[in-house]
């Protein structure tokens, strides 16, 4: 498997790279995704902002850059994807896949995490739309944190957008079963897997 991984610097993207390499993948971190079997985008930047008092710089980092990255690289990756192959039943099976790793519960924002929630919801929509528009050559799926336990804290208690009510555990091995599941199940596309929720495949 030849993987191309791109996204926000930090522990989460390093964990994704480690897990893919544990699966035997040849991982490329820069350049052109064309010719790879798997494109993984990692969106994990954290910033404080609100919709009633937006911060332009925070919005650029949390919303514009992740969406532009997913759109631009996704289109380039899909354009170079090989034709699907037929399985034993004659159904076409994509030979390429995009996985969006989204480090924020979609549609749920603590009082000052607006951009992060908007970006997560937009990437989820991009996943579902891309699954239809890129089929049958490319599968598109996403991994998000479980909504379970993602309660909204009061503004007075909120101090750090990287706190535990966020999201994905950036430790090698945590995402491995889910990444392996998506890679090895050729019929799955357009799915949003909640890590830790009911949709998470068993290790």
- At residue 106 the predicted structure's pLDDT band, cuts being 50, 70 and 90, is confident
Compute the distance between CA of residue 97 and CA of residue 131 in angstroms, rounded to an integer: 10
Domain that holds residue 17: 2-80+92-151+159-195
Q: What is the average pLDDT score of the chain? A: 85
For residue 183, the domain's CATH number is: 3.40.50.720
Compute the distance between CA of residue 78 and CA of residue 137 in angstroms, rounded to an integer: 8
Residue 201 lies in a domain: no
Phi/psi for 3 (5° steps) reads -110, 145
Residue 156 or 19, more confident: 19
Question: What is the structure's pLDDT at 117?
Answer: 87
Question: What is the structure's pLDDT at 18?
Answer: 97
Question: What does the pLDDT look like over 24-59, one tens digit per residue?
Answer: 999 999 889 999 999 999 998 878 888 888 889 989
Buried (b) or exposed (e) across 8-40, using 16+ Cβ within 10 A? beeebbebbbebbeeeebebbeeeebeebbbbb
Question: What is the structure's pLDDT at 109?
Answer: 67
Residue 44 lies in a domain: yes
Question: What is the structure's pLDDT at 112?
Answer: 74
- At residue 88 the predicted structure's pLDDT band, cuts being 50, 70 and 90, is confident
Whether the CB-CB separation of 43 and 101 falls below 8 Å is answered with yes
CA-CA-CA-CA dihedral for 183, 82, 17, 6, to nearest 10: -130
């Amino acid at each position: 498997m030849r993987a191309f991984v791109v996204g926000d610097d930090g522990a989460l993207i390093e964990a994704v790279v480690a897990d893919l390499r544990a699966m035997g993948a040849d991982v490329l971190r820069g350049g052109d995704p064309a010719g790879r079997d798997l494109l993984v985008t990692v969106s994990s930047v954290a910033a404080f902002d609100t919709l009633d008092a937006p911060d332009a710089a925070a919005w650029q980092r949390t919303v514009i850059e992740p969406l532009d990255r997913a759109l631009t690289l996704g289109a380039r990756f899909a354009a170079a994807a090989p034709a699907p192959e037929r399985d034993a039943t004659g159904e076409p099976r994509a030979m390429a896949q995009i996985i969006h790793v989204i480090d924020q519960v979609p549609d749920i924002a603590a009082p000052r995490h607006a951009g992060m929630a908007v970006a997560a919801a937009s990437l989820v929509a991009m996943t579902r739309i891309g699954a239809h528009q890129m089929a049958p050559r490319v599968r598109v799926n996403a991994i998000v944190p479980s909504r379970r336990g993602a309660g909204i804290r009061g503004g007075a208690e909120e101090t750090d957008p990287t706190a535990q009510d966020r999201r994905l555990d950036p430790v090698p091995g945590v995402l491995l079963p889910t990444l392996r599941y998506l890679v090895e199940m050729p019929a799955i596309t357009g799915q949003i897997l909640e890590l830790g929720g009911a949709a998470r495949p068993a290790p």
